[in-house]
């Protein structure tokens, strides 16, 4: 699933080509996504000028004069710029045709993503209860420490909780816990303030680095320019169960936490 760095990579790739453009037409070839695409989307968007392309957690917010298109990439979706006359391939469900002659094309093989319309996106039911952005000043180790008190759940699903902090998905939670030397199985409430300060710093560092590298290439993900991300080449634990730790040579172990595979080093992470 595209995580925060992949979504931010997409935003940065498409924004320069969208802001200031007007939508001339919307073509919907398949409305049955996770939630049906609004029947009147073409009426709402035709002639509308795009004012900004923003991100909240893993949602892209394409702001128009009259409202905002909320886009989610689901499990394997993508948004990219193509020439408007380019014939659609399989799973290319929606085109926003621009006056420039280009089209913003939404592709979603599994149809688990979403394209929704809102007049007040930050108060939309999908976004209203989200925690702070991990790269913002509102997120730090003190927040993790305070929210973790009395929590018996494992630290990895704790930092993946979107009410705690948004966008720390499976890949980057695994990598940040390794970098901070914390065993992902440890109860969240048993970790000290100093270790949470370190963990928050590593979450920020790793997410920023992944964005700089263009995200992680996993299965179908490509950025808004159609190019893959390269952070996968720098993964230390995610997806490497049974391989040797790059730091100490110990065989990496794999367990399941919160119904997700979690790989860690029993020597480097305590």
- Round to whole Å and give the CA distance between 146 and 140: 10
Could you tell me the two tokens for 37? 């695409």
In the DSSP assignment, the letter for residue 233 is G
- Round to whole Å and give the CA distance between 23 and 71: 16
Q: How many residues does the chain have?
A: 270
Is 58 one of the catalytic residues? yes
Catalytic residue from among 186, 213, 260, 267: 260
Residue 56 CB-half CA count within 13 A: 20
Burial class (CB in 10 A: 0-12, 13-18, 19+), 95: buried
Q: Is 91 annotated as a binding residue?
A: yes
188 neighbors 201 (Cβ within 8 angstroms): no
Q: Is 110 annotated as a binding residue?
A: yes
Catalytic residue from among 3, 8, 92, 175: 3
Catalytic residue from among 2, 5, 134, 157: 2
Q: Is 124 annotated as a binding residue?
A: no
Is 29 one of the catalytic residues? no
Is 2 one of the catalytic residues? yes
Is 134 one of the catalytic residues? no
Catalytic residue from among 11, 56, 58, 105: 58
- What 3-state DSSP class applies to 216? coil
Annotated binding residues, written as ranges, equal 91, 110, 151
List, by residue number, the catalytic residues. Answer: 2-3, 58, 260
Annotated binding residues for DNA, written as ranges, equal 91, 110, 151
């Amino acid at each position: 699933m595209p995580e925060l760095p992949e979504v931010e990579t997409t935003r940065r790739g498409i924004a320069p080509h969208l802001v200031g453009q007007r939508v001339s037409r919307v073509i919907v070839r398949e409305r049955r996504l996770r939630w049906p695409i609004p029947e009147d989307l073409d009426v709402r968007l035709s002639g509308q000028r795009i004012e900004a392309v923003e991100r909240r957690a893993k949602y892209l917010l394409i702001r128009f004069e009259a409202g905002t298109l909320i886009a989610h990439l689901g499990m394997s979706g993508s948004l990219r710029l193509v020439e408007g006359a380019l014939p659609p391939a399989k799973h290319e469900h929606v085109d926003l045709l621009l006056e420039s002659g280009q089209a913003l094309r939404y592709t979603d093989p599994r149809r688990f993503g979403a394209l929704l319309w809102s007049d007040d996106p930050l108060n939309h039911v999908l976004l209203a209860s989200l925690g702070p952005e991990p790269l913002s000043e509102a997120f730090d180790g003190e927040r993790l420490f305070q929210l973790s008190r009395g929590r018996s759940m494992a630290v990895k699903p704790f930092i993946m909780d979107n009410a705690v902090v948004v966008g720390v998905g499976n890949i980057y939670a695994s990598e940040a816990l390794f970098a901070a030397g914390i065993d992902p199985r440890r109860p969240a409430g048993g970790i000290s303030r100093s270790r949470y300060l370190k963990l928050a710093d590593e979450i920020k560092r790793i997410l920023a680095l992944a964005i700089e590298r263009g995200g992680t290439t996993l299965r179908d993900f490509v950025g808004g320019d159609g190019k893959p991300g390269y952070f996968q080449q720098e993964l230390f634990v995610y997806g490497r169960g049974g391989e040797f730790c790059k730091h100490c040579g110990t065989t990496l172990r794999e367990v399941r936490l919160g119904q997700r595979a979690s790989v860690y080093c029993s020597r480097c992470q305590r």
